[in-house]
Amino acid sequence: MSRPIRSIIHYAALQHNLQMIQSKARNAKVWAVVKANAYGHGLQHVFEPFRAADGFALLDLNEAQQLREMGWRGPILLLEGIFEARDLEICSRLGLWHTVHNEAQIEMLSAHKTQQGHRVFLKLNAGMNRLGFEPRQFRSVYSRLNAIHQVEEISLLSHFARTETAEGVLESLRIFNDACRDLSGERSLSNSGAILAHQEVIAKEGLTDDWVRPGIALYGASPDSHIKSANDWGLRPAQSLRSQIIALQSVNVGDKVGYGPDHTAHEKMLIGIVACGYADGYPRAISQSAQVLYGEGGVRCNLFGRVSMDMLTVNLNPALAKGLQPRIGDQITLWGKTQQGVELSIDEVASHAGTIGYELMCAVAPRVSVEKDLDGFN
Ligand SMILES: *Cc1c(COP(=O)(O)O)cnc(C)c1O
């Protein structure tokens, strides 16, 4: 048997989250954002649950090719566009739509020999200062693109840097409106944060978001979890990281646990050694206030001792206090849910490591085997 750590992908949760986003975004078409191997869930796992999306958005041309090989004939959008001229041949061959956010991409496009016109999403820098053309050059860039025969259709795209508040969204919307008001083409604005919390603000500014771009919400985590949790939004965790206890140690007052001098027991403790370490993607920087779930019933237990490469150690006293008798082989859920459905959100775990759910789900290591959970999926 391989090491007992598993990433379980819940197909029904992926499907539910997509439906939930579709109902929030009303008439908009939905790009399922599947960059970074579908936020660490595996493109091959999310493909079926996300089939009801209108298109897939990603960065990597290999992942785009994989989608075509899986049989997807609908739209695929490259969110960072092309990186070199020969990428355009792949776009032509696979029928990929691509973002245009810099001059070099326009030059490559105008030199590209193709029979087939390309659909491009012209990106505006609406205050994030990452990708996109400045508002004051936007119109002239649009006209230049419009004039080259390689381009068949132009859509307009922008990205929100701040969705925690309506003001943050409004700031970008006003920049977008000023730059794009009389330009024709479909619009694509909202990420998860804007879809969940700011659809009214967008409508009030007179904008129609033709293509929304949810990522994190589809995977059941919150875009701004310090404000509202995934659970509050009605999202379901799509990934559970589970492992097992591979050893038990009874320690007395004064005994130390794990590497380093810092973790001395102040009471008698039953320590469970769990087959999960930072080489599996569990963050070493996590604080001792972080918890895991013991057993199917999901008793919350704190970490005790540093996370090492292949193992972590937990204080199982809360399980003893409930009259349970932990054994080797018992299940530990690091995030997601237990088989009985008790939840520990990835956002909660991330917050104890000074990061966000996004980072943890993307960081699950290739050595962790992946299992499908098809329960409730249709
Ligand atoms: C990643 C990404 C998204 C999705 O963002 P979430 O916060 O995960 O919803 C949307 N648009 C662009 C351009 C992105 O790069």
Where residue 198 sits, what CATH number does that domain have? 3.20.20.10
Assess whether 255 and 360 both reside in one domain: yes
Chain segment 234-290, per-residue pLDDT in tens: 999 999 999 999 999 999 999 999 998 889 999 999 999 999 999 999 999 999 999
What CATH number is associated with residue 268? 2.40.37.10
Do residues 335 and 8 lie in contact, with contact meaning Cβ atoms separated by under 8 Å? Answer: no
- 35 catalytic, yes or no? yes
CA distance 230 to 191: 15
Assess whether 78 and 205 both reside in one domain: yes
Assess whether 123 and 206 both reside in one domain: yes
Q: Residues near 365 by Cβ (< 8 Å), separated by ≥ 6?
A: 279, 280, 281
Please give the pLDDT value at position 154. Answer: 98
Fill in the amino acid letter for 31: W
Please give the pLDDT value at position 204. Answer: 92
H-assigned helices in the chain = 11-24, 35-39, 43-46, 61-69, 87-94, 103-111, 135-147, 166-180, 192-197, 199-204, 317-321, 346-351, 357-362
Chain segment 158-184, per-residue pLDDT in tens: 999 999 999 999 999 999 999 999 999
Residue 6 lies in a domain: no
CB neighbour class for 169 (10 Å; exposed up to 12, middle 13-18, buried from 19): buried
Assess whether 161 and 266 both reside in one domain: no
CA distance 143 to 140: 5
Q: Which of 58, 211, 213, 224 gets mutated to test ligand 1 (max ligand atoms within 8 A of its CB)?
A: 213
Number of domains within the chain: 2
- 113 phi/psi in degrees, rounded to 5: -90, 110
Give the position, in ligand 1's atom list, of the atom nearest the Cα of 31: 10
- 259 catalytic, yes or no? yes
Assess whether 176 and 289 both reside in one domain: no
Distance, CA 251 to ligand 1 centroid (Å)? 46
* SS3 at position 258: coil
Do residues 25 and 195 lie in contact, with contact meaning Cβ atoms separated by under 8 Å? Answer: yes
pTM greater than 0.85 (yes/no): yes
Assess whether 247 and 207 both reside in one domain: no
Residue 221 lies in a domain: no
Distance, CA 148 to ligand 1 centroid (Å)? 29
Assess whether 106 and 255 both reside in one domain: no
Distance, CA 270 to ligand 1 centroid (Å)? 43
Residue 224 lies in a domain: no
Do residues 369 and 42 lie in contact, with contact meaning Cβ atoms separated by under 8 Å? Answer: no
Domain that holds residue 303: 239-373
Assess whether 179 and 121 both reside in one domain: yes
Assess whether 185 and 270 both reside in one domain: no
Low-confidence ranges of the chain (pLDDT < 50): none
Assess whether 191 and 251 both reside in one domain: no
